[in-house]
């Protein structure tokens, strides 16, 4: 997601890892109309389009307040600032995520405290969260990775016991549910990204913070616009992180299709599972787990294989695009070396970096492409058996 090109097509075969053009073709007319109306108005910063989108998005996420901002990264930073997190504080999070999660914590001056993941879900392990709480802990940032809700109930319990804020990183998970509730409406804050490859993507960068509390929402409105309620009068130190009116207008069109696109993603995940069965692959690869109390939205479809690198090379040679999210855990990256973690300290996250592989998934993905992906995986394992026999 993140750094990949937003039009990630493999030139050789035309087979797409994801295909935003296919989606645009279905809503082209409405998007162009929305863009045209903003251009006609010449009103580009905040204003009616942003307010209307914030209303639609709050209703969609089932959160009392939604505040548009410039990116998912800023959404995290703004939520942390609204909560008053800063130097001397510790914030617990996962090392198996996009860098923005921990980077935003570090930017406030607080210390990111990494805890390992549950190997089954890729999400932060709640029992380890409990063990990591100290006197200095101020907040927990669980990430709903790949579109699957983190195990929030025990995390909320720890937070309540120690008066900590829960800031959900829902950048990859708009529409996902946890025990019947939408993610982003459960913790104190929900942080969303509208990066183009997200399930609800705009035409550039965009983000949003949801909040349960009106006072916190008010702080977010202030923080995203230089601390000002009226022009040239700053109540607090803020920043410039506004959602553009053009992006809001586009998002207002797209949010109406989001449930249908989520259903299409779920159908494609179900087809992968069926094909893995059909091709007898279930002992070689592990498909993503989806606990019955969670509604997965499959921003990514990530399998695990002990032969990941060889499998990926084979698929690439046969024109099947894949991606690795994430090749390196955050606690071992140079940017976080100052925290002093060593190799082996988060074994499950480190293992996930070595054996996880994302397969193509997007709402318009043709069934024939999925069949080709799975057939190629089966061919790889057949070739492995032949190699072993040949030795």
Tell whether residue 94 is a contact of ligand PLP (CB under 6 A). Answer: no
| Whether the Cβ atoms of residue 258 and residue 201 lie closer than 8 Å to each other | no
Residue 97 Cβ vs ligand PLP, minimum distance, rounded to whole Å: 5
Q: How far is the CB of 4 from ligand PLP (least distance, A)?
A: 10
Strands 207-211 and 65-69: antiparallel
Of the residues 79, 81, 102, 143, which one makes contact with ligand PLP according to CB under 6 A: 143
Check residue 114 for interaction with ligand PLP (CB under 6 A).
Answer: no
Contact status: 371 vs ligand PLP (CB under 6 A): no
Residue 95 or 311: the one with the smaller Cβ distance to ligand PLP is: 95
Contact of 182 with 306, CB cutoff 8 Å: no
Based on the shown chain and the rule CB under 6 A, indicate whether residue 111 belongs to the binding site for ligand PLP: no
Q: How many residues bind ligand PLP (CB under 6 A)?
A: 17
Tokens coding 259: 């449930």
Q: What DSSP state is assigned to residue 258?
A: H
Give min distance, CB of 192 to ligand PLP, in A.
8
Nearer to ligand PLP, 123 or 156 (CB): 123
| Cα distance between residue 63 and residue 190, in whole Å | 9
- Considering the rule CB under 6 A, would residue 92 count as an interface residue with ligand PLP? no
Give 172 or 322: the residue with its C-beta nearer to ligand PLP: 172
Q: b vs e for 210-229, b when ≥16 Cβ sit within 10 Å of the residue's Cβ? A: bbbeeebbbbbbbbbbbbee
Does the footprint of ligand PLP cover residue 297 (CB under 6 A)? Answer: no
What distances in angstroms separate CA 292 from CA 67, 272, 303, one per listed residue?
31, 18, 18
Length of the chain: 391
Among the listed residues 94, 97, 294, 322, the single contact to ligand PLP using CB under 6 A = 97
100 binds ligand PLP (CB under 6 A): yes
Q: How far apart are the first and last CA of the chain?
A: 39
Minimal distance, residue 225 CB to ligand PLP, in Å: 18
Task: Tell me if 108 contacts ligand PLP by CB under 6 A.
Answer: no
Taking residues 150 to 169 in sequence order and writing x for each that binds ligand PLP by CB under 6 A, - otherwise, the string is -------------------x
User: Nearest distance from residue 195's CB to ligand PLP, in Å?
Assistant: 4
Residue with smaller CB distance to ligand PLP, 327 or 390: 327
Q: In this chain, which of 156, 193, 294, 356 binds ligand PLP, going by CB under 6 A?
A: 193
Q: Which stretch binds ligand PLP (CB under 6 A): 95-103, 217-225, 239-247, 274-282?
A: 95-103
Where does the chain show beta strands of DSSP type E? 65-69, 90-93, 111-114, 137-141, 165-169, 177-178, 181-182, 189-193, 207-211, 228-230, 233-234, 285-286, 294-295, 301-305, 356-359
Distance CA 340, CA 203 (A): 39
Dist. CA 22–CA 38, nearest whole Å: 24
Rule CB under 6 A: choose which of 17, 18, 65, 98 binds ligand PLP.
98
- Residues pairing with 113 in the sheet: 92
Residue 328 contacts ligand PLP per CB under 6 A: no
Among residues 23, 49, 94, 101, the one that binds ligand PLP under rule CB under 6 A:
101
Q: What is the DSSP letter of 331?
A: G
| Torsion sign across C-alpha atoms 228, 52, 29, 296 | positive
User: Minimum distance from CB of 355 to ligand PLP (Å)?
Assistant: 20
Angle at 72 between CA 188 and CA 48, to 5 degrees: 85
Among the residue ranges 68-76, 246-254, 263-271, 345-353, the one whose residues contact ligand PLP (CB under 6 A): 68-76
User: DSSP code of 62?
Assistant: T
Interface with ligand PLP by CB under 6 A: which residues?
1-2, 71-73, 97-98, 100-101, 143, 169, 171-172, 193, 195, 205, 207
């Amino acid at each position: 997601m993140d750094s990949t090109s937003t039009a990630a097509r493999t030139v050789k075969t035309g087979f797409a890892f994801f295909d935003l053009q296919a989606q645009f073709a279905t809503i082209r007319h409405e998007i162009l109309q929305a863009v045209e109306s903003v251009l006609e108005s010449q009103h580009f910063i905040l204003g009616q389009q942003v307010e209307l989108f914030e209303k639609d998005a709050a209703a969609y996420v089932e959160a009392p307040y939604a505040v548009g901002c410039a990116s998912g990264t800023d959404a995290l930073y703004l939520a942390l600032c609204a909560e008053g997190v800063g130097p001397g504080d510790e914030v617990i999070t996962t090392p198996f995520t996009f860098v923005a999660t921990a980077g935003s914590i570090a930017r406030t001056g607080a210390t990111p405290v990494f805890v390992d993941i549950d190997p089954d879900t890729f999400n932060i392990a709640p029992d380890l969260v409990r063990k990591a709480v100290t006197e200095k802990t101020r907040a927990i940032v669980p990430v709903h990775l790949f579109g699957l809700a983190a195990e929030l109930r025990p995390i909320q319990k720890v937070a309540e016991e120690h008066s900590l804020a829960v800031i959900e990183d829902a950048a990859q998970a708009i529409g996902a549910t946890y025990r019947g509730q939408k993610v982003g409406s459960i913790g104190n804050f929900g942080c969303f990204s509208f990066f183009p490859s997200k399930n609800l993507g705009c035409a550039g960068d965009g983000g949003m913070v949801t909040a349960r509390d009106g006072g916190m929402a008010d702080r977010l409105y202030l923080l995203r616009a230089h601390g000002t309620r009226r022009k040239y009068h700053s109540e607090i130190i803020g920043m410039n992180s506004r959602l553009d009116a053009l992006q809001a207008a586009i998002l207002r069109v797209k949010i109406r299709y989001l449930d249908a696109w989520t259903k299409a993603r779920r159908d494609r995940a179900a087809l992968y599972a069926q094909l893995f069965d059909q091709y007898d692959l279930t002992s070689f690869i592990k498909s993503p787990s989806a606990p019955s109390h969670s509604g997965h939205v499959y921003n990514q479809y990530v399998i695990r294989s002990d032969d990941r690198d060889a499998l990926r090379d084979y698929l690439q040679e046969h024109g099947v695009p894949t991606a690795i999210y994430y090749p390196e855990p955050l606690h071992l990256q140079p940017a976080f070396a100052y925290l002093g973690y060593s190799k082996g300290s988060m074994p499950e996250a480190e293992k996930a970096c070595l054996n996880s592989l994302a397969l193509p998934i997007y709402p318009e993905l043709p069934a024939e492409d999925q069949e080709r992906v799975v057939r190629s995986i089966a061919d790889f394992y057949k070739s492995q058996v032949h190699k072993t026999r040949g030795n």
